[in-house]
């Protein structure tokens, strides 16, 4: 895990860059020429009404959705498409995977592999993607399980765990790949209210102890306030306004942001 | 005694022949099942993931095989292949295996479709290579849901081995007929053959039902 450095590096190459990004589902254009960047180590929270395209943005970064137009760069490297001789060319899956190994994602519904134990879930990618030996991967997984408070459950199956426990395992699984960018899409929305706290506490620790860049979608406004360097308010696929959490949450400039915040807070 | 409906002497005489035939039947079922299990999975994966130039012809062949009767396939394959392959039994086993491949491929396909998209997405999020995603994530989950159906097809394959009679493979029913033809005593031979089938498939189907309950 990268060591914590003092705040985002806004001077260098953006860690993540959306350039004129277009995403349509059939006739429905969700993102229409979106531009934004995330600096190395920066934590950016996306807020906005349902259907505004927040999940779509994260899924594009994870290559779970195909770009319709424009470019996404990760540390300066094109992710899904690149320009070659004035043409926009699709990057093959194999090369995409080389870029995505540095990106991790935690899902709303955990998506643990039910046919594997907790430990197997975590060592799977380190062994088969990073090429660690089983014993190296196991040692690493045990460290991460301790970090998320799940070391006692290493041999259980996901179905034997509570939602909060499953989500903590999913976080450990993502971290086992040493991601430089972590995508969190409403990771507590599927949890019973009493289990939300344990998951957010783990994430706050990770935010405090590492300099992983994060792109976060959440309805937990206090959490967003605590971990974000910047909050971006979306509506209908474009940025309404952005700024430090204190500014966006306390003195939003736009009426649409005020309306949205008064509806969720 | 010889005019009575049932003769224990004939029953005793035919039984060894039947058991010899039963070995052939069992061998055909086991090998046919193995072929269908393996090829069926390959066909299902190809149809789901290979480019159209590959998957379309595979789909065409599969549909063709599924829509024609096993007996016709046996006779046809024997006609075409017997100059090249000495063993009719080998031809029979491959035809049986490939015929059932098409059914098992459908079962696997349903199993693969039942794996939630979230599983594929989690694999992508971990940058797992495609082959590893199939092997470690999708296939184990797909097969779990399909084991009972696969078992039932194995039983029905077992019960269709008598069709081998059309290409003169000495399986159990053919041996029963031969004995009947030689001695004019069909009753004992055919009755015993039926009983042997029953004794073999009933416990197997019970096992599958238990497996079904355990997995449910
Ligand atoms: N696979 C899909 N097929 C068709 N339309 C889709 C698909 N995924 C998303 N959309 C559409 O894209 C738009 C944006 O969806 P998205 O899930 O990104 O919104 P969101 O901001 O995450 O909303 P929420 O807060 O409800 O999660 C919506 O209109 C949605 O209907
Ligand atoms: Mg969403």
A111 touches chain B (CB under 8 A): yes
A144 touches chain B (CB under 8 A): no
Kindly identify which residue of chain B lies nearest to residue A104, measuring between CA atoms. B125
Tokens of B148: 């009972």
* Strand stretches in chain B, DSSP E: none
Strands A28-38 and A81-84, bridge-based pairing: unpaired
A99: closest CA of chain B, how far (Å) = 9
Contact B125 A105 (CB under 8 A): yes
Tell me the torsion sign for CA atoms B21, B22, B25, B31. negative
B125 touches chain A (CB under 8 A): yes
- Within 8 A of B142 by CB-CB distance, chain A residues are none
The pLDDT, as a whole number, for residue A20 is: 94
The pLDDT, as a whole number, for residue A3 is: 52
The CATH 3.40.50.300 domain(s) of chain A lie at: 1-102+182-190+214-265
The pLDDT, as a whole number, for residue B1 is: 47
pLDDT digit string (tens) for A37-69? Answer: 999 999 999 999 999 999 999 999 999 999 999
The pLDDT, as a whole number, for residue B14 is: 87
Please tell me the residue having the least CA distance from ligand 1 atom 6: A25
The pLDDT, as a whole number, for residue A5 is: 53
- ipTM score above 0.90: yes
Q: How far is the C-alpha of A214 from the C-alpha of A227, rounded, in Å?
A: 9
The pLDDT, as a whole number, for residue B10 is: 87
Share of chain A above pLDDT 90, in %: 89
Which residues does chain B have with pLDDT short of 70?
1-3, 216
The pLDDT, as a whole number, for residue B169 is: 81
Give the best residue of B51, B117, B118, B125 to mutate against chain A (max A CB count within 10 A).
B125
**Structural domains of chain B ordered from first start:** 21-172 (1.10.3720.10)
Please tell me the residue having the least CA distance from ligand 1 atom 27: A50
Which residues does chain A have with pLDDT short of 70?
1-6
Contact A195, A163 (CB under 8 A): yes
Share of chain A above pLDDT 70, in %: 97
- Closest residue by Cα to residue A67 from A85, A103, A91: A91
pLDDT digit string (tens) for B90-107? Answer: 999 999 999 999 999 999
Ligand 1 proximal residues by C-beta, below 6 Å: A 25, 28, 30, 48, 50-56
pLDDT digit string (tens) for A99-140? Answer: 999 999 999 999 999 999 999 999 999 999 999 999 999 999
Distance B98 CA to ligand 2 centre (A): 46
Highest CATH level, class, for A1-102+182-190+214-265: alpha beta
pTM of the model: 0.88
Name the residue of A25, A219, A256 whose CB sits within 8 Å of the most ligand 1 atoms, as the mutation to test its pocket: A25
B177: Cβ–Cβ under 8 A, 6 or more apart, which residues? B165, B186, B189
- Closest residue by Cα to residue B163 from B81, B86, B80, B92: B92
Q: Which residues pair with A105 in a beta bridge?
A: A183
Contact A245, A225 (CB under 8 A): yes
How far does chain A reach from its first CA to its final CA, in angstroms? 34
Tell me the torsion sign for CA atoms A167, A168, A170, A175. positive
- Mean pLDDT over all residues of chain A? 93
Q: How far is the C-alpha of B18 from the C-alpha of B174, rounded, in Å?
A: 9
B132 touches chain A (CB under 8 A): yes
């Amino acid at each position: 895990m990268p060591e914590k450095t003092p705040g985002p590096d806004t001077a260098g190459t953006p860690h993540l860059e959306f350039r004129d990004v277009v995403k349509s589902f059939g006739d429905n254009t969700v993102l229409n020429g979106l531009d934004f960047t995330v600096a190395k180590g920066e934590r950016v929270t996306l807020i906005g009404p349902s259907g505004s395209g927040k999940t779509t943005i994260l899924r594009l970064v994870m290559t779970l959705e195909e770009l319709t137009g424009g470019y996404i760069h990760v540390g300066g490297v094109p992710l899904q498409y690149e320009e070659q001789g004035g043409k926009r060319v699709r990057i093959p899956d194999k090369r995409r995977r080389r870029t995505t190994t540095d990106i991790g994602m935690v899902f709303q519904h955990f998506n643990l592999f039910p046919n594997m134990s907790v430990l197997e879930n975590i060592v799977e990618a380190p062994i088969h993607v990073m090429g660690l030996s089983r014993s190296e991967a196991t040692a690493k997984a045990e460290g991460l399980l301790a970090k998320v408070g799940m070391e006692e459950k290493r041999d259980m199956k996901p179905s034997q765990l509570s939602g909060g426990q499953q989500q903590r395992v999913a976080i450990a699984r993502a971290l086992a790949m040493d991601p430089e960018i972590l995508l969190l899409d409403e990771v507590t929305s599927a949890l019973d209210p009493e289990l939300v706290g344990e998951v957010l506490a783990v994430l706050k620790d990770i935010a405090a102890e590492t300099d992983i860049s994060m792109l976060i979608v959440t309805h937990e406004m206090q959490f967003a306030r605590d971990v974000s360097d910047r909050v971006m308010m979306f509506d209908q696929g474009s940025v309404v306004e952005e700024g430090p959490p204190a500014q966006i949450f306390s003195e939003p400039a736009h009426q649409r942001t005020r309306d949205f915040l008064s509806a969720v807070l | 005694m010889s005019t009575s409906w049932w003769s224990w002497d004939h029953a005793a005489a035919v039984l060894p022949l039947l058991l010899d035939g039963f070995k052939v039947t069992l061998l055909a079922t086991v090998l046919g099942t193995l072929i269908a299990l393996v090829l069926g999975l390959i066909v299902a994966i190809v149809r789901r993931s290979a480019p159209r130039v590959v998957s379309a012809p595979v789909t065409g062949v599969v549909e063709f095989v599924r829509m024609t009767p096993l007996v016709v396939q046996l006779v046809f394959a024997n006609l075409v292949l017997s100059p090249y392959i000495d063993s009719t039994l080998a031809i029979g086993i491959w035809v049986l295996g490939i015929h059932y491949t098409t059914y098992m491929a459908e079962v696997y396909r349903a199993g693969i479709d039942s794996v939630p998209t979230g599983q594929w997405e989690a694999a992508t999020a971990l940058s797992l290579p495609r082959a590893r995603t199939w092997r470690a994530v999708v296939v184990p989950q797909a097969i779990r849901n399909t084991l009972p159906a696969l078992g039932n097809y194995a039983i029905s394959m077992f019960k269709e081995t008598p069709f081998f009679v059309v290409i003169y493979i000495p399986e159990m029913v053919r041996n029963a007929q031969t004995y009947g033809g030689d001695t004019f005593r069909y009753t004992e031979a055919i009755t015993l053959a039926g009983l042997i089938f029953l004794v073999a498939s009933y416990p197997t189907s019970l096992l599958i039902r238990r497996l079904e309950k355990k997995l449910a």
